[in-house]
């Protein structure tokens, strides 16, 4: 029986051991990955990929690259979330073409103010933000914006390392969406950052510019797979109302 959002929220734990006698449905896992693509993404750039590992042989190799931690060794399937900041031109073009299809083919003078802003966002602002050369352009933009910031509020995260953080935040939102989707189905997951990202990239034949955001193991928990009661910092310590 499927869980409600609140039930799934409380059910989801980082599970360290899965039951080999309880298989999971690959089709359902794929559906949860598809749901994850509806997660928020900065500028709707969707600079992510989801590698769904169902091969037993590949999962065994992947477990080795996750240092043979129990969450990886006992997993039935694994998901590797990859950040593809290098695809920004392609993704910007996809957004631009989508907007043109919505607005319709017409002379530039006939676009509304809102439509012009949307088109210019992907034609001019995104290239200005993402384009860089050996980090030099990023720092030039950063110092220019910093000086401008003395006079008015302005966006400051324009260096290559800033854009990298933005892309990883979007991928992490997709990862959380996936794990909650799995919890709704009664399936378990464990996000893992203790990995050899270099070897995983080689295993997946990824380009050097791609980055591993995290590896998520999947299965159905054993009772000992949850290490203990959930601990959270008291809410009044982390909640600030202004």
Residue 99 is part of which domain span?
A: 88-161
Would you say residue 211 lies in a domain?
Answer: no
Would you say residue 129 lies in a domain?
Answer: yes
Give yes or no for a contact between 187 and 217, defined as CB atoms under 8 angstroms apart. no
pLDDT of residue 155: 84
Would you say residue 130 lies in a domain?
Answer: yes
Would you say residue 30 lies in a domain?
Answer: no
Would you say residue 236 lies in a domain?
Answer: no
Global pTM? 0.94
Would you say residue 75 lies in a domain?
Answer: no
Would you say residue 221 lies in a domain?
Answer: no
Distance (Å, whole) CA 212 – CA 207? 11
Closest by CA to 215, choosing from 77, 55, 25, is 77
Would you say residue 230 lies in a domain?
Answer: no
- Beta bridge partners, 212, equal 82
pLDDT of residue 206: 98
Q: Residue 147: how many CA atoms within 13 Å on its side-chain side? A: 5
Backbone angles phi, psi at 154, to 5 degrees: -155, 150
**Helical pair 26-36 and 160-184, crossing angle rounded to 10 deg:** 140
Percent of the chain with pLDDT over 90: 85
pLDDT tens string 140-189: 888 888 888 889 998 888 888 999 999 999 999 999 999 999 999 999 99
DSSP secondary structure letters along the chain: -PPPHHHHHHH--B-S-B-TTS---HHHHHHHHHHHTTS--GGG---EEEEEE--HHHHHHHHHHTTT-HHHHT-SEEEEEEE-GGGHHHHHHHHHHHHHHHH-S--GGGS-HHHHHHHHIIIIIHHHHH--STTHHHHHHHHHHHHHTTTS------SHHHHHHHHHHHHHHHHHHHHHHHHHTT-EEEEE--S-HHHHHHHTT--TT-EEEEEEEEE-B-GGGS-SS-----HHHH----
pLDDT of residue 86: 95
pLDDT tens string 36-48: 999 999 999 999 9
Report the mean per-residue pLDDT for the chain. Answer: 95
pLDDT tens string 50-61: 999 999 999 999
pLDDT tens string 182-210: 999 999 999 999 999 999 999 999 999 99
Domain count of the chain?
1
Give yes or no for a contact between 57 and 198, defined as CB atoms under 8 angstroms apart. no
């Amino acid at each position: 029986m499927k869980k409600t959002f609140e039930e799934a929220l409380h059910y989801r734990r980082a599970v360290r051991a899965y039951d080999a006698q309880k298989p999971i449905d690959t089709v359902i896992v794929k559906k949860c990955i598809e749901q994850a693509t509806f997660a928020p993404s900065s500028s709707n750039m969707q600079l992510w990929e989801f590698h769904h590992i169902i091969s037993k042989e590949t999962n065994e190799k992947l477990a080795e690259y996750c240092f043979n931690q129990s969450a990886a060794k006992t997993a039935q399937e694994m998901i590797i979330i990859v950040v593809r900041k290098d695809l920004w031109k392609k993704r910007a073009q996809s957004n631009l073409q989508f907007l043109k299809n919505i607005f319709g083919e017409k002379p530039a003078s006939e676009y509304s103010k809102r439509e012009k802003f949307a088109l210019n966002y992907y034609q001019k602002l995104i290239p200005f933000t993402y384009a860089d050369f050996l980090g030099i352009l990023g720092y030039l933009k950063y110092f220019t914006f910093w000086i401008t910031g003395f006079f008015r509020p302005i966006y400051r995260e324009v260096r290559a390392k800033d854009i990298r953080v933005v892309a990883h935040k979007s991928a992490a939102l997709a990862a959380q969406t996936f794990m909650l989707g799995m919890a709704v189905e009664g399936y378990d997951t464990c996000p893992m950052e203790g990995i050899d990202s270099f070897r995983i990239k080689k295993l997946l034949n990824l380009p050097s510019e791609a980055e591993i955001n995290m590896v998520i193991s999947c299965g159905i928990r054993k009772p000992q797979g949850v290490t203990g009661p959930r601990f959270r910092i008291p809410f009044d310590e982390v909640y600030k109302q202004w």
